[in-house]
Structure 1
Amino acid sequence: MPTIDFTLDRDFIELNQLLKLAGLCDSGGAGKQLVASGVVQVDGALELRKTAKIRAGQRVRVGAVEIRVKAG
């Protein structure tokens, strides 16, 4: 399973923006569509809130790709 380490430079990032900055989609709008499609998990649970606040220590999974969010 591919893993992406994402370093957070603030308190949190919105889920749709994280997906964009991690390279899993082309825009924040595409990130919102990805979340709405029901394929995004945060810490092992399905996440449908497009702008959920993601903080350091959390893990986001889209299909076989996992994003580990770390403090900057």
Structure 2
Amino acid sequence: MKIDGEFIKLDSFLKAVDAVSSGGEAKILIAEGLVQVNGETELRRGRKLRPGDTVVMEGKAYQVE
């Protein structure tokens, strides 16, 4: 997904790519350790994603552009 600006927060990114239906769902999945950023489990929903980052959730990969 292409972002406008320098970065997008992880929870907002998951909503933008329709990986989750709400911010609450994103918060739960991130807190449970079910989301990876660049190959590492990420527990911070406010993690800043920049172009080139890869997010994996439930076996599906999303590229930040």
* TM-score bracket for this pair, using the shorter chain length: over 0.9
Determine the C-alpha separation between the residues in 2 that align with 1:30 and 1:53. Answer: 18
Q: How many residues align?
A: 65
Q: Which has the higher contact order (CA 8 A, sep 6+)?
A: 1
Structure 2: segments with no counterpart, 5+ residues: none
TM-score norm. by structure 2 comes to 0.93
- Choose from 41, 44, 49 the match for 1:46: 41
CA RMSD of aligned residues (A): 0.8
User: Which residue of 2 is the match for residue 29 of structure 1?
Assistant: 24
Q: What amino acid is the match of 1:8?
A: I
Determine the C-alpha separation between the residues in 2 that align with 1:14 and 1:64. Answer: 20
Structure 1: segments with no counterpart, 5+ residues: 1-5
Tell me which stretches of 4 or more aligned residues in structure 1 moved more than 6 Å: none
Greater percentage in strand: 1
